Amino acid sequence: MTGGLHWIDGVIVASYIALVLWLGWYYSRRQTDTGDYFTGNHAMPPLLIGISLFATLFSTISFLSTPGELINKGPVILTGMLAIPLSYIIVGYLLIPVYMRQRVTSAYELLETRLGLPARMLGAVMFVLLRLSWMSMLIYLASKAVLEMLDLSHDQLQIVAAATGAIAIIYASMGGLRAVVITDLLQFLLLFGGAVLVIVMATVRIGGIDWFPTSWNPAWDTQPLFSWDPYVRVTVFGTILHGVLWWVCTAGGDQTAIQRFMATRDASAARRSFLVNSIAGAAVITVLALVGFSLLGFYQAFPAELPEGKTIAADADILFPRFISHELPVGLSGLVVCGMFAAAMSSIDSGVNSISAVVMTDFIDRFRRHPVSEQHRLRIARWLAFGIGVAVVMASAHLDHVPGNFLEKTKRTIGLFVAPMFSLFFMAVFVRFATAWGAIVGAACGFLAAAIVAYWNFGVDYFSQLSATSDASLIASESISYQWIFPVSLVTAIVCGCIASMLNRLFRRDAAS
């Protein structure tokens, strides 16, 4: 037990940060236009793109919460890997060929071609709001974990948040997509390697692999195969369906993913990159599950290592960062902390670059009256990335005041936008009679349905709950499972979009006659 991070660990973390910033500076010198800045001139290797896509979408939330979920709730979350083959078939052979026939910087240019400018603007705005809130939450959660690992006081949260965000902002705004993709590879290796180190050290401390469960732990939740009860938190079927819909909606409607497909040469290369992403996802989820099992075994074998007043069941989410800082040898702790930072920054840098691409293409270039040089556009893109990053860091400083469980809040907040965004693309590509206003009405209805599922607590007077305690969560303990958000939102958006499109065409026909 090290009792916290050593100064040597600090040197390792500082060296990693210096390397990341150097990469951003190096690639900034090789850029000549915004095509290279945003898409790498469509010549990035599928292996790098696949790793970058995974590193981007597999955030700090996933890195920290997966072991905690296994410790507290059990291994049903692992059934989500069954969603990977189906997701690969749908995305690789249905969505990617359609998108790769177009060579665009912003995915939302496709919406204007089929549905018109209003649909493009709505898709772009929803994406920007989604990624701004997502990145703010990432910085906040990563900073909370760093406070735990460094034994810092809560008063220093804003300083840590600013430092975490600033590093990602600087190299993302300097180096563009090439810097982002290269550092994503480095950060994936740190993330994966850090998790493996934790498993090895826990095994050494315990004296074997006795931590691996051979029966169902009585402390784990009962998680059924399927249930129509919306208040059942997790089911096997719900986990698989949630995984499929998340990947399909993200790969088919999120600029962060589509931008990476566009950075490859053709549909075949883009498909291979998504396959790499899928394999990397399965590998890391498996390793993080083993981290959860090993940590559960470790703290059951050594309960005195728990912080005073903490229990395994109630504080499962902090056991991973706690083990990193207090149980790993000097030097190894620093490497794993780098992995922690990597999980946050790989998502932040990609989000900043993708938002910059959307704002530059869908708003600035779309409404610009006079052409400007590529060098001028490149300078605007870099300053835009920097400004977006600053806004995200400032927003993260206020998330400490948000009530409720942060992980649950994140899932429910992101779920508001993901399916409605994809519904716009679904209507544009697969519904021949779709109209612009029909698709917009559908997306709005999908957003409303997601909000109802995420935050409406049937039969719960949460106003009296809030008055009973100052830190009560708006999401009551009997809230509807987050696994219902995507299917309800997507079905609502598509059905309402189709109905609205048919009515829109009917009214046009009547008006014309």
In this prediction, residue 32 carries a pLDDT of: 52
CATH number for the domain harbouring residue 134: 1.20.1730.10
Confidence of residue 155 (pLDDT cuts 50, 70, 90): confident
> Is the domain of 287 the same as that of 412?
no
> Is the domain of 386 the same as that of 420?
no
The answer on pLDDT for 85 being more than 90 is yes
The answer on pLDDT for 356 being more than 90 is no
Give the SS3 label for residue 312: coil
From 362, 377, 401, the end of a domain falls on 401
What number is the average pLDDT over the span 112-118? 91
What number is the average pLDDT over the span 222-227? 84
In this prediction, residue 17 carries a pLDDT of: 78
In this prediction, residue 57 carries a pLDDT of: 67
- Does some domain include residue 2? no
Q: How large a percentage of the chain has pLDDT more than 70? A: 77
> Is the domain of 387 the same as that of 456?
no
In this prediction, residue 34 carries a pLDDT of: 46
In order, the DSSP letters of 446-481 are HHHHHHHHHH--TT--HHHHHHH-TT--SS-TTPPP
Contact 194, 340 (CB under 8 A): yes
Contact 39, 103 (CB under 8 A): no
Which residues, other chains included, contact 190 with Cβ-Cβ below 8 Å and sequence gap of 6+? 16, 335, 338, 339, 342
Instruction: Convert the pLDDT of each residue in 244-283 to its tens digit.
Output: 999 999 999 887 788 788 878 889 999 999 998 899 888 8
Q: Quote helix, strand, coil % in the chain, to nearest 5.
A: 75, 0, 25
The answer on pLDDT for 435 being more than 80 is yes
Instruction: Convert the pLDDT of each residue in 24-76 to its tens digit.
Output: 667 666 555 444 444 445 455 667 666 666 666 666 777 778 888 888 888 88
> What is the total count of domains within the chain?
2
Helix axes 319-327 and 117-150, enclosed angle (nearest 10): 40
More confident residue, 458 or 20: 20
In order, the DSSP letters of 207-274 are TSSTTS-SS--TTS----S--S-TT----HHHHHHHHHHHHHHHHHH-HHHHHHHHTSSSHHHHHHHH
Q: Which domain holds residue 222?
A: 7-401
Q: What is the pTM of this model?
A: 0.81
- Does some domain include residue 464? yes
DSSP designation for 186: H
> Is the domain of 395 the same as that of 474?
no
* Rounded Cα gap, residues 33 and 37, in angstroms: 7
> Is the domain of 351 the same as that of 215?
yes
Minimal CA–CA distance to 326: which of 153, 127, 151? Answer: 151
Instruction: Convert the pLDDT of each residue in 288-313 to its tens digit.
Output: 999 999 999 999 999 988 878 888 87
More confident residue, 232 or 493: 493
> Is the domain of 376 the same as that of 498?
no
The answer on pLDDT for 162 being more than 90 is no
> Is the domain of 157 the same as that of 191?
yes
In this prediction, residue 209 carries a pLDDT of: 92
> Is the domain of 408 the same as that of 392?
no
Phi, psi dihedral angles at 315 (to 5 degrees): -125, 35
In this prediction, residue 342 carries a pLDDT of: 65
The answer on pLDDT for 77 being more than 80 is yes
Per-residue tokens: 274: 């998504």
> Is the domain of 329 the same as that of 416?
no
> Is the domain of 394 the same as that of 430?
no
DSSP designation for 102: S
